[in-house]
Amino acid sequence: MPQPRRPEVSAFLLILICLSAAAAQIAAPPFTAAIAGPALLLFFLREWRHLARMARILVMISLLGSGMLLLAEKIDLAVLGRAIDRAAFLAFFVTALSLLQSAGGRSPMIRNCGEALVEQPPGRRYTVLTIGGALFGVLLSLGTLSLLGSIIVSGVEGRRGSTEPRISEIRMQRMTLAMLRGFSTIPMWSPTTMTLAIILSGLPSLRWIDILPLGLAATVAFLVLGWITDRLTYPRPSGANRTEGAPLTTLLPLVGLVILIPGVAYVVAEVLGLSMIAALLVTVPFISFGWIFIQMRGAGDSHPMRASGTWIMRDVLPSLPSLRSEVGIFAGSAFIGILIPPLLNLDVIGSTVAQLGLSAGGVLVLSFWGIALALMVGINPIISATIAIEILPNLPGLALSELGIAHMVMMSWAVIIGLSPFSTSVRMSARVIGREAAEIGLRWNLRFSLVAGALLSLYLFFIGA
């Protein structure tokens, strides 16, 4: 796709948006929306011809919707400012993490770890690959599915000549589902996910460390349920040969890096008094630069610092405009999510809840399935989750804890991104392995998703009570 004539202008605008969002997260001055708003508008105007269709739709809804609501006096400038700041924050989030993904995408360590995950004996392949999907997701986000998916396809196709077609198909299904289910757990614990960014920015009194214990417990339960489903669906033949796979010690650098990123961010947050997300976005560019520096030195470059700087100037900055569609989708969804709650009558919603006799747990369960069903019809969970986070703490007559709301959002997100054909993770997995998204989500993963959703609903009902 051709770039605009001067991509550095778009890159400058995106950097300006990021600096404004960083200022809003760290010091919260009153003028950030006045800077980020025009910068976002100019960025989308310059990149309009190259935006994906969904990004265009969301940007248009944001512009026209906010204009009409202002004219009709349904929202005020304060709400508009919050919407702009939230959109800029997600643009900053996408941009900062793209540096980490760029560093990981060229890392030999990442490729070696991916091949080690796939080159495991059948008895432990699912377990190792699903845990690997979660670890890779912290560093590469959706790039995990492209990288591991391509390695899976290469491994299966390379053995087709000596394997029955039925066995090859089973291998493809098992490894794809292991990857997808592992990747789907990261919204429940990783601060590098969009889910945690939305939760912690929408519920600022919550800390990542508050969410982490139960998030990790739910992640373990999710992974164990996936393993049980795999064993029941594809039982291992009694006479299967035991083979040695790639050594698992290959994965130790990956595990260390996954621990390092949130660990450093947490320390910075505690020392400087920042939120976890703000600290993460500040530290990720430095970690990415350090990772590239190590790669350059490992490759024998005599001037690794200069080579790393060249990577920033020659590769990273010119490529920032290519994030246009991701920025449009995420920023537009967040903007819309902030505009909708002021239009709703919370007293009416609260009285309806009371008339139906719903408890706090019942409301959490309904919200869980509301977010899930919204994505089943194509509504981005950024929109539905943002609305839930804005509304639920303020419902009259209900004492919903912010921690319960946070768990509801991240668990719903984890279940539905492995099920809906509209989910980016399902669509990307399908494209990489050459299948239809509905086949992966609604056939291969349906049973697991429904059981996981039912169990998590029981958990939410219990904590709500």
pLDDT of amino acid 465: 65
Cα distances (angstroms) measured from residue 123 to each of 66, 87, 174, 244, 245:
55, 45, 12, 10, 10
Confidence band of 224 (pLDDT split at 50, 70, 90): very high
pLDDT of amino acid 4: 45
Q: Which whole number is the average pLDDT over 18-39?
A: 90
pLDDT of amino acid 239: 54
What six digits make up the tokens of 54?
């969904």
Q: Which whole number is the average pLDDT over 283-288?
A: 90
Q: Which residue has the higher pLDDT, 409 or 6?
A: 409
* 300 backbone φψ class: left, alpha, beta (φ>0; ψ -120 to 50): left
Q: Please write the tens of the pLDDT for every residue from 9-25.
A: 999 999 999 999 999 88
Q: Which whole number is the average pLDDT over 323-344?
A: 95
Q: Please write the tens of the pLDDT for every residue from 153-190.
A: 988 887 776 678 888 888 899 999 999 999 999 999 99
Q: Please write the tens of the pLDDT for every residue from 236-280.
A: 766 555 566 778 888 899 999 999 999 999 999 999 888 888 899
Q: Please write the tens of the pLDDT for every residue from 60-118.
A: 999 999 999 999 999 999 999 999 999 999 999 999 988 888 888 888 888 889 888 88
Q: Please write the tens of the pLDDT for every residue from 341-397.
A: 999 999 999 999 989 999 999 999 999 999 999 999 999 999 999 999 999 999 988
Percent of the chain with pLDDT over 90: 67
CA distance 432 to 275: 36
Q: What is the pTM of this model?
A: 0.90
pLDDT of amino acid 2: 47
What is 146-197 written as a DSSP string?
Answer: HHHHHHHHHHHHHTGGGS-HHHHHHHHHHHHHHHHHHHHTGGGT-TTSHHHH
The pLDDT mean for the chain works out to: 90
What six digits make up the tokens of 454?
């039912």
41 pLDDT above the threshold of 60: yes
Confidence band of 211 (pLDDT split at 50, 70, 90): very high
